[in-house]
Amino acid sequence: MAHTIPDPASDRIQLVPVPALSDNYIWMAYSDSHAIVVDPGEAAPVQGLLDRYGLALDAILLTHHHGDHVGGARELQARSGATVYGPAREQLPVCDHRLEQGDAIFLENLDLRLEVLDIPGHTAGHIAYFGRMNQGKPLVFCGDTLFSGGCGRLFEGTPAQMYDSVSKLRALPLDTLVCCAHEYTLANLRWALQVEPGNDALQEWWKAAQGLRAQGLPTLPTTIGAERDFNPFLRTQQESVAKAARIQSGERLDSAVTVFAALRAWKDHFK
């Protein structure tokens, strides 16, 4: 996927999903020749853009400890001197400031304040960063907790934890940009269409997402409002979703959490 980014000297924050590894996105935000990156699984794609556009890397934000999210952090810090932020309760290869819910960071050169949310489930200490950029536009860097049409696998947490975490993200403003860390959209939507085939918003996004990928373009960021319209994991209290989960699981599923758990098990085995 080719990269073209606007003038780095702009005083507006620009947001770029940088492809890495097989299907990761490293999010880069920059303004006035200063940049930050989120979850750099490898250093080379980031360093290439920094060098090409003359950007100084001020900060590296980590959401969780998995190697495809932290693998490039040490090298990037060594080359740039960037400050590294990360979750308080996870083992990381490098971290200057350990964060948990209630903390906030201020990235002075981007005039960007980010609040920390605890969103365990995918990993035990996973965090997200929520803030507002140009003219108050909200965004959230949510790592592997929420994807377009899906959510992260439960490697270290419980369905109840993950349900609470995605509910926390669901409660963000509807126009919040969802900056997740993988291009899983088409695979997620193929499954979501099995859950809720009569969902018009889902059908429309399926067509649009296919068109974007056919052109080599990212499907991200999406928005919280859009995900609430078609992502089954944010729709556990919709009867159409709950009914599909009950039929698939053969169980009563008498709460939103049990519906969520059944959806996650269904997705885990969907081919």
Residue 1 has pLDDT above 50, yes or no: no
Q: Which residues are tagged catalytic?
A: 64, 66, 68-69, 122, 144, 182
The pLDDT, as a whole number, for residue 103 is 98
Is 23 annotated for ligand binding?
A: no
The pLDDT, as a whole number, for residue 135 is 87
Is 69 annotated for ligand binding?
A: yes
Residue 159 has pLDDT above 50, yes or no: yes
Least Cα distance to 170 among 238, 224, 231 occurs for 224
Chain segment 170-183, per-residue pLDDT in tens: 999 999 999 999 99
Is 122 annotated for ligand binding?
A: yes
Confidence band of 2 (pLDDT split at 50, 70, 90): very low
DSSP state, residue 141: E
Is 66 annotated for ligand binding?
A: yes
Mean pLDDT on 243-260: 96
Mean pLDDT on 251-261: 96
Lowest mean pLDDT among 4-8, 201-205, 215-219: 4-8
Is 181 in a helix, a strand, or coil? coil
The pLDDT, as a whole number, for residue 7 is 63
Name the E strands within the chain.
14-20, 24-31, 34-38, 56-61, 83-87, 97-99, 104-107, 112-118, 127-132, 138-143, 146-147, 150-151, 177-180, 222-223
Mean pLDDT on 250-269: 96
Residues 6+ apart with CB under 8 A from 207: none
Report domain 14-184+213-227's class: alpha beta
Q: In angstroms, rounded to a whole number, what is the distance separating the alpha carbons of residues 9 and 270?
A: 46
Confidence band of 271 (pLDDT split at 50, 70, 90): confident
Least Cα distance to 27 among 10, 46, 5 occurs for 46
Is 97 annotated for ligand binding?
A: no
Alpha helices in 31-132 (DSSP H): 44-53, 67-70, 73-80
The pLDDT, as a whole number, for residue 208 is 97
Q: In angstroms, rounded to a whole number, what is the distance separating the alpha carbons of residues 31 and 14?
A: 6
Mean pLDDT over each residue of the chain, to the nearest integer:
95
Q: Are 221 and 15 in contact (CB under 8 A)?
A: yes
For the beta carbon of residue 172, count every other beta carbon within 10 angstroms.
Answer: 20
What is each CA distance from 7 to 92, 134, 221, in whole angstroms? 33, 15, 20
Q: In angstroms, rounded to a whole number, what is the distance separating the alpha carbons of residues 166 and 183?
A: 18
DSSP state, residue 135: G
Rg for the chain, CA atoms, rounded: 18
Q: Domain residue spans in the chain?
A: 14-184+213-227
Cis peptide before 221 (omega within 30 of 0): yes
The pLDDT, as a whole number, for residue 17 is 97
One-character DSSP codes across 223-243: EHHHHHHH-GGG-TTSHHHHH
Q: Which helix (H) or strand (E) holds 161?
A: helix 159-170
Chain segment 86-126, per-residue pLDDT in tens: 999 999 999 999 999 999 999 999 999 999 999 999 999 99
- State what percent of residues in the chain have pLDDT above 90: 94
